[in-house]
Amino acid sequence: MTQLTPQLRYLPSAQQQALWLENVSIQQLASQVATPFYCYSKAALLSNIHACKAAFEPENIHIHYAMKANSNLSLLRIIAEQGLGVDIVSIGEMRRALSAGFKAQDIVFSGVGKTTAELAEAVLAGVGQFNLESKEELAVLITIADKYQQLVSALIRVNPEVTVDTHKNITTGAKGNKFGVNFSDVLPMLETAEHSPFLKIKGLAMHIGSQIHTTQPYLDAIAKIQRLINELKIQGYLLTQLDLGGGFGIQYKDYQQLTRNTEQQEQQEQQEQQEQHYLAFSDFSNAIKSALAHWQGRISIEPGRSLMADIGVMVCEITYIKESRPTSFVVLNAAMNDLMRPALYQATHALIPVQSPSSSLQTKYDVVGPICESTDTFSKSASLPTDLAAGDLMCFLYTGAYCAVMSNSYNSRPIAAEVLVDDAQAHVIRQAITQDDLMAFEQPSALKLF
C-alpha cells in the first residue's frame, strides 16, 4: 500500500495497484460519474477539523471556517456539526451557512465590497460580527443598524502592511492591497461609531494573505496591531476582540515527492519540516499564544485551505498523448474551467494515474486541457510515467480548496460534479451542471422589462 494524501492510497487490484479514497475505488466511481469530477473524503475533513480544534481551542482561540475555500452544502454541514463558526464574504455564502446549520451569531461577514442590500439582510439575520473594510462601509452599516434598531457588533479590518512570501495574487495585507484600512483611519472610525446607539466596534481584524508557511508575518502584524490598540486605549477606546484571519499554508507535493519509497518520504518530510516549508496548526497556535500572552480579550482565526485542500481530488481522463517537440503533451478532458488555480496563480497540483504505472520510467510532459486558451495549462515539463496512454484515468491532488468553487462553464463546458466518500459509501453532493441546464436560463422570458 502506498499512502499519498490523507485517506488516498494505492491498493492492490486484480493486475496492478489502483487508487482508493477511504474504502472506495476511484476507478469504480469513474464508471458511474462522468469525468472530470471532484471527490472528497469525509474522514480527512474530520481529521483536519479535529487537529485544528486540538491546537486552538485549548488556547481559547475561536475558529471560523473561511467558506470561500469550498462552499458545498454537504461539507458545510459536517463543519457546522463540529461546532465551528464560519467566515463569509457574500450574502450567498450567508444563506448557505444558515442552510447548513451555522447559527447567525457564529457568522463573521468579511469582504471589501458588501452592498447595502447585503448588509441589511445580514443585520436582520443577526450575523454576529461584521469586519469593516472602510469608513464608507461603516457609514452604511450605521444607517442600517439605526434604521432597524438592531444591535450590530463590528471589528475594523486594518492593513498591517507586512511582507508575505507568497504569490502576489493572494497577498491581502501588503501596502497597496484593496483590503482593510490604514492605521490612521481607525480612530476616526471609532469616533464616528460613537454616535450610533446600535453599532459597537469591539476590536480589530486582519488577514495578511494565503499560503503562508512561516509564523513571522503573523508576529510582525500582531505586534503592529498591539501598538495601535495601546495607542487607542490612551485615547479612551478599549478594544477587546482580535480577528487574526487565516492563510495557513499547506504543502502541495508533486508527483515525484508522492511516489518516493517510505524511507525517502520520511527523510524528505523531516528535511521540509526543518526548512519550515510546512507548519502544523500547533505552530501557529503557539505563535499566537506567545505574541498575545497578556491579551485578555477574544481571539479568533479563519482557516480555509488548511482544512480543505488535502481532502479532495479531481478525477479526469487522458484524451490524447500528443507527440510534439520539444515536449509532448498530455491532453486531459479536464480544463481551466474545472481547475482554475494553475491559470490564475500558476499553481501546480500533483497529477497521478489512477492505475499505478507498471514501470518506474518517467517522461517530461506539458499537461494541458482542451480549452481554446494558452493559459489552459496545468503544468510544464512535468515528470509523469512514460507508459501513459489515451483513456487512462488521472487524479489531481489537493483540490479540496479553491477549486470546485472557482469552476465555470467557459467554452460552454459542463460544470463538474462533486462526490463525497464516507468509508465505503459515496454520494453525489453536487450534480454536474450541463449546458442544457444552463441554456434553460437563456430561453425567451415572458417577463417584459420595458
Q: Mind telling me the catalytic residues?
A: 372
Q: What is the largest CA-CA distance in the chain?
A: 74
Q: Are 69 and 305 contacting, i.e. CB atoms less than 8 angstroms apart?
A: yes
Strand partners, 9: 3, 20
Distant-in-sequence, close-in-space partners of 97: CB < 8 Å, separation ≥ 6 = 67, 76, 80, 86, 88, 107
Tell me the DSSP string of 364-397. Answer: EEEEE-SSSSTT-EEEEEEEEETT--TT-EEEEE
Q: Are 198 and 154 contacting, i.e. CB atoms less than 8 angstroms apart?
A: no
What CA–CA distance (Å, rounded) separates 76 from 92?
A: 14
* Sheet (strand 24-25) strand order: 2-5, 8-12, 17-21, 24-25
Helix (H, G, I), strand (E, B) or coil at 242: strand
Region of 209 (left: φ > 0; alpha: ψ -120 to 50; beta: rest) is left
Distant-in-sequence, close-in-space partners of 382: CB < 8 Å, separation ≥ 6 = 254, 255, 330, 348, 351, 364, 365, 366, 367
Sign, CA dihedral 118-122-127-129, equals positive
From 35, 15, 36, 11, select the one nearest 24 (Cα to Cα).
11
Alpha helices, DSSP H only, in 151-280? 186-193, 216-234, 255-258, 262-274
Q: Which amino acid is at 47?
A: S
Taking the mean position of all CA atoms in its chain, how far away is CA 43?
18
What is the distance in angstroms between the CA of the first residue and the CA of the last residue of the chain?
65
What CA–CA distance (Å, rounded) separates 69 from 387?
A: 35
Helices and strands in the chain, H and E counts: 14, 21
What CA–CA distance (Å, rounded) separates 255 from 192?
A: 55
Grid cell in block for residue 359:
514501470
Element (H, E) at 437: helix 435-439
User: What count of other Cβ atoms lies within 10 Å of the Cβ of residue 218?
Assistant: 25
